[in-house]
Chains A and B, each alone.
Chain A
Amino acid sequence: MHAEMLVLQFSREVVDQPIIYRLVKDFSLEFNLLKAAINPRQEGLIVMELRGHPKDFRRGLKYLRESGVKVKKVAGEVRRNEDLCYQCGTCTAVCPSGALHIERPDMAVVFDAARCSACELCCPVCPARAMEVKLNRSAL
Chain B
Amino acid sequence: MANYQVNKTYQEINEKIKKGQAVVVTAEEIIDIVRRKGEAEAARTVDVVTTGTFSPMCSSGAIINFGHTKPPIKASKVWLNNVPAYAGLAAVDVYIGATEPTEDDPLNKVYPGEFKYGGGHVIQDLVAGKAVHLVAEAYGTDCYPNKRVEKDITLKGVVNAVLFNPRNCYQNYNCAVNLSNRTIYTYMGPLRPRAGNANFCTSGQLSPLFNDPYYRTIGIGTRIFLGGAVGYVCFPGTQHNPGKPRGENGVPLGPAGTLMVLGDLKKMSPRYLVGVSLLGYGCSLTVGMGIPIPMLNEDIAHYVAISDDQLLAPIVDYGHDYPAATGRILGQVSYAQLKSGKMNLDGQEIPTVPLSSLVRAREVAQLLKEWIEKGQFLLGEPVDMLPGSEEVHCVRTGSRDS
Contacts and interface: CB of A to CB of B under 8 A. Distances in A.
B263 interface: no
A127 B353 contact: no
A102 B199 CA distance: 14
A109 B199 CA distance: 15
A128 B276 contact: yes
| Count class of interface residues, chain A | 20 to 34
Contacts, number: 73
B359 A108 contact: yes
A127 B277 contact: yes
Contacts of A104: 339-341
Given A93-B189, A93-B190, A125-B190, A107 B358 contact: yes
Contact of A86 (B279, B339, B357): B357
B97 interface: no
B199 A86 contact: no
Interface string B45-60: 0000000001110000
Interface in B257-293: 274, 276-279, 284, 286
A88 B55 CA distance: 8
A90 B276 CA distance: 12
Contacts of A136: none
B382 interface: no
Interface string A85-106: 0111110111000000010111
Given A104-B340, A124-B114, A88 B357 contact: yes
Contacts of B194: none
Interface residues of B, number: 32
Contacts of B277: 127, 129
A19 B116 CA distance: 33
Interface string B319-339: 000000000000000000001
Contacts of A87: 357-360
B28 to A, nearest CB: 10
B192 interface: yes
Given A127-B278, A128-B276, A93 B286 contact: no
Contacts of A86: 54, 274, 286, 357, 359-360
B256 to A, nearest CB: 23
Nearest to B200: A89
B217 interface: no
Nearest to A92: B353
B353 A90 contact: yes
A89 B339 contact: no
A32 to B, nearest CB: 21
A108 B277 CA distance: 21
B375 interface: no
B197 interface: yes
A76 B56 CA distance: 30
B132 interface: no
B355 interface: yes
Nearest to A108: B359
B239 interface: no
B354 interface: yes
A74 B94 CA distance: 47
Contact of B199 (A93, A108, A124): A93
Interface string B334-368: 00000111000000000101111111100000000
Interface string A50-82: 000110000000000000000000000000000
A75 B302 CA distance: 56
A89 B357 CA distance: 7
Contact of A89 (B110, B116, B190, B353): B353
Interface in A37-54: 53-54
Given A107-B354, A109-B359, A129-B116, A93 B197 contact: yes
Top 6 A-B pairs ranked by shortest CB distance? Answer: A127-B276, A107-B358, A87-B359, A89-B354, A93-B353, A88-B357
Interface of B: 54-56, 110, 112, 114, 116, 189-192, 197, 199, 274, 276-279, 284, 286, 339-341, 351, 353-360
Given A102-B354, A104-B341, 10 more contacts: A86-B360, A88-B54, A89-B357, A90-B189, A93-B351, A93-B353, A107-B358, A124-B112, A124-B114, A127-B56
14 contacts: A86-B54, A87-B357, A87-B360, A88-B55, A89-B357, A92-B353, A93-B190, A93-B199, A94-B190, A102-B341, A107-B358, A127-B278, A127-B286, A127-B355
